[in-house]
Amino acid sequence: MGNSDTGKKILVMHGPNLNTLGTREPEIYGSKTLDEINDDLKKQGKKLGIDVETFQSNHEGDIVDKIQASVGNIDAFIINPAAYTHTSIAIRDAVLLLEVPVIEIHLSNIYKREPFRHKSMVADVATGQIAGFGVSGYRMALDAAVDLMAS
C-alpha cells in the first residue's frame, strides 16, 4: 500500500482551521505549526517503517472525498475533525467506509470545553479517541495505530 519498509500506510487527516496552528489560540492549541506536527509524524513513521500521509482541509467535501479515495489504500486512519467533530454526519458516514483502525484525535480535551464541543459525531465509529494531550496526542495516536495494525 505505502512505500515504507513494511508497506504499511497511515493517513493523518486534519480538519478546518488546523492550518492556523501555531498562531490560533496558542493557550489552547500550543505553539507548534501544522507543518511541524506533520514533519514529526512523518519522521516517527519512518522510524517505525510506516508511510505517513497527511492531509488538511477547511472544506467538508474535500475531507469526505479524501476518506473515500483512501478506502483500500491505507492500513490505519487518524483524524482530527476539528469543528466538524460536532457537526458532520457526512464525515462520520465516510469513516464508516474504512475497514481499518480509526483514531480520533483532539489537541484539547473537548469534554472540558464549551458544552457544544462535548458531542463527537465520529467517536462511536472510531476505534478510539485521544483528547487533551496537545501535540503529544498525535504521537500517541500514531503509536496506537501501529499497535492496532499489528494485532
26: which strand partners? none
Quick check: is 29 catalytic?
A: yes
Quick check: is 86 catalytic?
A: no
Encode pLDDT of 45-94 as tens digits: 999 999 999 999 999 999 999 999 999 999 999 999 999 999 999 999 99
Query: Which residue in the list 29, 59, 84, 118 is annotated as catalytic?
Result: 29
Pick the CATH number of 8-150 from 1.10.3720.10, 3.40.50.1100, 3.40.50.40, 3.40.50.9100: 3.40.50.9100
Model confidence, pTM: 0.92
Helix axis angle, 34-48 to 136-150, nearest 10°: 30
Convert 69-80 to b/e letters by CB count within 10 Å (16 or more is b).
ebeeebbbbbbb
Convert 109-139 to b/e letters by CB count within 10 Å (16 or more is b).
ebeeeeeebeebbbeebbeebbbebebebbe
Query: Which residue in the list 14, 84, 106, 138 is annotated as catalytic?
Result: 106
